[in-house]
Amino acid sequence: MAINDVARGRLREQDASARGMRVLLLAGDTFPPKRVDLTVLYGEELSRRGHRIDWLLQSDAPCSRAYVTRYARGVAIVGPTDTGCSLARRVRKHVLSIVHDFKVLGLLRKKRYDVVEVKDKFVSGVFALVAARMLGVKFVYWLSYPFPEHYLYRYRAGDAPYPLLYWLRGTAFKLLLYKVLLPGADHVFVQSEQMRRDIGAVGVTPAKMTAVPMGVRLTEDPRADASDRSVIPAGERCFVYLGTLVRVRRLDFLVRVLAIVRREIPDAKLYLVGRGEEPEDEDAIRAEAARLGVSSAVVLVGELPRDEALRYVHDADVCVSPFYPTPILRSTSPTKLVEYLAMGKAVVASDHPEQRRVIEESGGGLCVPWDETEFAGAIVRLMSCPDVARRMGEKGRRFVEQNRSYATIADLVERELVALAATATPRIGKPQLS
């Protein structure tokens, strides 16, 4: 009997894969989505394999009423927003998002979905979970970052722009996440093995969690024209950081690292490609550069479209990935590290569970403690030995090709979703554009 059950299960999985899954995806990201774990993994890879993904998202651009539009192989149901910066208008934006997400119940009732998946939403996630249970649809939760811990950390650190709001969000989201959403989910995607261990420690069954690390869309071999610079002046020695500049990441650390590097390499520069959430985030970096007398060697590039930002990575002598050692960052899966390696760049990374694992397995750089002298020493070593850096970059590129391309990651996600979809209750009807 058990053998027959297994055989039937495999047949259902094959059928789900052959006809293509139907997934309704709610995410904290806005429309059109920008993060590659949505646009490439779901919008390209899974859609290309014949699976239909419909998206329930809030508009990024100013928008006063909801609309429906085609996106990838499915449709996007796009909700209104408020793009103002005051506290009242930010609250209104969140309220509009929650009201828009109420549509999940009607969508699941009227259309045939195998899975409803929620990424980084909490109040709306509860709506989706309840609707899925009522209508026999499988519920998947995807946690990319420990948001409740982030809000509470900033509240306790005293740097939250709205302390009471951060405390309320952190407390409420922590309760919803660990007491309702994760225990109630049929499956959970997390961002790293460390996150899987952390969540398992608070009582969520590890067997129903899958670590899905960040990856990249691979293009042509970036080393073919590595000597040709397009945005950083030829001959200028530099190291590059790509990513957010929020204060919780303590990137004034890199300014102090630069000051030490310049003792050995006096003309070295630091390029920071990205922006903070608040003006004060970048002000802290400028203030530290002024204090150390290295303002002329710190270049704040700002936020750029991905292709333009990667030009700075291409032109760098060395790329850096520092992660301040706090509990809220221990479980992350750094996108920048994999992007650097995919570009064939040697990396200096701070000791962090996922970074240590990637550096050790790839041989694509040096992993050192969160220590300014050690970090600077590793940068000087690679900038002074370009052949060593080049060989590390080649190893890193091969690692990404074999392990962190989104084609490879899509295999993992598809396998889990198809197995889950095979157990979903069949429903009548097909998704329509409107």
The predicted structure's pLDDT at residue 425: 62
- Return the structure tokens found at 418: 């198809």
Q: Can you tell me the mean pLDDT for 26-52?
A: 93
Give yes or no for a contact between 137 and 117, defined as CB atoms under 8 angstroms apart.
no
Q: Can you tell me the mean pLDDT for 62-80?
A: 95
CB atoms within 10 A of CB 89: 12
Classify each residue of 284-317 as buried b or exposed e, where b means 16 or more C-beta atoms within 10 Å of its C-beta.
Answer: bbeebbeebebeebbebbeebeeeebbbbbbbbb
Query: From CA 282, how far away is CA 289, in angstroms rounded?
Result: 11
State whether 85 and 159 are in the same domain: yes
Give yes or no for a contact between 314 and 273, defined as CB atoms under 8 angstroms apart.
no
The predicted structure's pLDDT at residue 337: 92
Q: What proportion of the chain, given as a percentage, has pLDDT over 90?
A: 74
Q: Quick check: 16 pLDDT over 50? A: no
Q: Can you tell me the mean pLDDT for 36-56?
A: 93
The predicted structure's pLDDT at residue 429: 44
The predicted structure's pLDDT at residue 5: 40
State whether 313 and 203 are in the same domain: no
Judge whether 230 lies within some domain.
Answer: yes
The predicted structure's pLDDT at residue 343: 94
- Return the structure tokens found at 291: 């204090």
- As beta bridge partners, residue 75 has 70
Classify each residue of 372-396 as buried b or exposed e, where b means 16 or more C-beta atoms within 10 Å of its C-beta.
Answer: bebbbbbbbbbbeeeeebbebbbbb
The predicted structure's pLDDT at residue 434: 37
Judge whether 428 lies within some domain.
Answer: no
State whether 112 and 258 are in the same domain: no
The predicted structure's pLDDT at residue 80: 96
Judge whether 195 lies within some domain.
Answer: yes
Lowest mean pLDDT across 15-24, 60-69, 88-97 = 15-24
State whether 181 and 292 are in the same domain: no
Question: Beta strands 67-71 and 74-79: pairing type?
Answer: antiparallel
Q: Quick check: 221 pLDDT over 90? A: no
State whether 208 and 320 are in the same domain: no
The predicted structure's pLDDT at residue 57: 97
State whether 89 and 43 are in the same domain: yes
The predicted structure's pLDDT at residue 13: 45
Judge whether 126 lies within some domain.
Answer: yes
Query: From CA 412, how far away is CA 68, in angstroms rounded?
Result: 30
Q: Can you tell me the mean pLDDT for 395-415?
A: 94
The predicted structure's pLDDT at residue 217: 83
The predicted structure's pLDDT at residue 432: 42
CB atoms within 10 A of CB 351: 15
What CATH code is carried by the domain that includes residue 260? 3.40.50.2000
Judge whether 50 lies within some domain.
Answer: yes
User: Quick one: three-class SS letters along the chain?
Assistant: CHHHHHHHHHHHHHHHHHHCCEEEEEEEEEECCCCHHHHCHHHHHHHHCCCEEEEEEEECCCECCCEEEEECCEEEEEECECCCCCHHHHHHHHHHHHHHHCHHHHHHHHCCCCEEEEECCCHHHHHHHHHHHHHCCEEEEEECCCHHHHHHHHHHHCCCCCHHHHHHHHHHHHHHHHHHHHHHCCEEEECCHHHHHHHHHCCCCHHHEEECCCCECCCCCHHHHCCCCCCCCCCCCEEEEECCCCHHHCCHHHHHHHHHHHHHCCCCEEEEEECCCCHHHHHHHHHHHHHHCCHHHEEEEECCCHHHHHHHHHHCCEEEECCCCCHHHHCCCCHHHHHHHHCCCCEEEECCHHHHHHHHHHCCEEEECCCHHHHHHHHHHHHHCHHHHHHHHHHHHHHHHHHCEHHHHHHHHHHHHHHHHCCCCCCCCCCCCC
pLDDT band for position 100 (50/70/90)?
very high
Question: Where is pLDDT greater, at 326 or 130?
Answer: 130
State whether 209 and 229 are in the same domain: no
Per-residue pLDDT tens digits for 336-376: 899 999 999 999 999 999 999 999 999 999 999 999 999 99
Number of domains in the chain: 2
Average pLDDT, the chain: 89
The predicted structure's pLDDT at residue 8: 37
Q: Can you tell me the mean pLDDT for 285-297?
A: 97
Q: Which residues contact 131 (CB under 8 A, 6 or more apart)?
A: 104, 105, 108, 109, 116, 137
State whether 174 and 304 are in the same domain: no
Judge whether 426 lies within some domain.
Answer: no
Domain extent at residue 356: 222-404
State whether 191 and 66 are in the same domain: yes
State whether 390 and 279 are in the same domain: yes
Q: What proportion of the chain, given as a percentage, has pLDDT over 70?
A: 91
State whether 137 and 20 are in the same domain: yes
How far is it between the farthest Cα atoms of the chain? 75
Q: Quick check: 187 pLDDT over 50? A: yes
Judge whether 187 lies within some domain.
Answer: yes
pLDDT band for position 1 (50/70/90)?
very low
Q: How many Å from the N-terminal Cα to the C-terminal Cα in the chain?
A: 45
Rg (CA), the chain: 23
Give yes or no for a contact between 126 and 176, defined as CB atoms under 8 angstroms apart.
yes
State whether 33 and 55 are in the same domain: yes
Judge whether 431 lies within some domain.
Answer: no
